[in-house]
Amino acid sequence: MFDVKKQIHEYKERQRDRGRLLVSCSDRPGIIAAISRFLFDHGANIIESSQYSLNPHGGEFFIRVAFECPELALKKAQIMSEFQEVADRFSMDWKLHLVSELKKTAIFVSKERHCLRELLWAWQNGDLMTDIALIISNHKEAKDEAEALNIPFFYMPASRENRAEVERKQLRLLAENDIDLIVLARYMQILTPNFVSSYPRQIINIHHSFLPAFVGARPYERAYQRGVKLIGATSHYVTNDLDEGPIIEQDVMRVDHRDDVDDLKKIGRNIERSVLIRAVKWHLEDRVIVHGNKTIVFS
């Protein structure tokens, strides 16, 4: 097992001159050339580039560029200011991220902890490069696991009656810790529009169904009643429409008539863990661009 703090420090040192640029705009000739020329003029070397066009004749264009630039942290403000001219020329929606500036993550969990454990395992192994700043739960079951890793744990029981008050406390806690990403690791509570609007495209949920099938509660029970032959899991960004947000990742596994509800749940937990990990990892690595209610994932 890695020493997490040491692992993160070494990673940030290795990546201190690396950045990622995400761009979306209407497709037209010269976009890639303009980005490449700009980075070259600022002493940067492109190390990875992926692009996708919905329609080369005026459709939407998306690109992710990973690059290395000496003393990038010192140049960041200047690069962002000067890139705005390129962005204006092509009407770009764009973001620049420094790899060494790790995102701060909060994990929300209820009683079931298989997704939480997978996240913590990947984090300890250096597979999820993030600062897990805190864990919030409406149950106490995850407290020991959080404290064993020196992650602050907050027990906040929520119900219909106190939901507004609890969310105010949660939002204050998230703001105090400068949280960039919220992961709902089987957090079995519906977030209010006020909460969701505070973190747009920054809340990732795992739903234990292959959406759009079996939206909402008890999907395994409904899948069993329907006699499905495939069950799955879906990781998506949270919006105010229940389980309707932009999908990041999905997977399925075959089942048959011999599998009862408990069997489906056991099989499903394995799918949930792997799907959530991939979605969180891709978000942390700036591989996801949201377009409408869909995503472009440069995996």
Q: CA 234, CA 232: separation in Å to the nearest integer?
A: 7
Domains: count for the chain: 2
**Model pLDDT, residue 60:** 96
Q: Would the pTM count as exceeding 0.75?
A: yes
Shared domain for 221 and 242, answered yes or no, is yes
Residues 147 and 62 in one domain: no
Q: Which residues have CB under 8 Å from 281's CB, separation 6+?
A: 122, 127, 128
d(CA 10, CA 16) in angstroms, rounded, equals: 10
Find the catalytic residue in 180, 243, 259, 286.
243
190, 273: one domain: yes
Same-domain status, 279 and 169: yes
- Please confirm, yes or no, whether 243 is among the known catalytic residues: yes
Question: Could you tell me if residue 170 is inside a domain?
Answer: yes
184 and 293 fall within a common domain? yes
In a shared domain, residues 142 and 171: yes
Domain with 68 in it: 17-98
Note the pLDDT of residue 1: 46
- Of 98, 115, 145, the domain-final residue: 98
Which of 98, 123, 141 finishes a domain? 98
**171 in the same domain as 51:** no
**Structural domain includes residue 6:** no
- Of the residues 98, 130, 161, which one is the last residue of a structural domain? 98
CATH of the domain at 267: 3.40.50.170
The CATH number of the domain where 40 resides is what?
Answer: 3.30.70.260
Residues 77 and 142 in one domain: no
Same domain, 57 and 189: no
pLDDT along the chain (299 residues), means of 10: 81 96 96 98 98 87 98 96 98 98 98 96 95 97 95 92 93 98 95 96 93 83 92 95 93 94 93 97 98 95
Rounded Cα–Cα distance for residues 265 and 246 (Å): 24
Torsion, Cα of 65, 248, 184, 253 (10° steps): -130
Q: Which two tokens stand for residue 136?
A: 């919030």
In a domain, 263, yes or no: yes
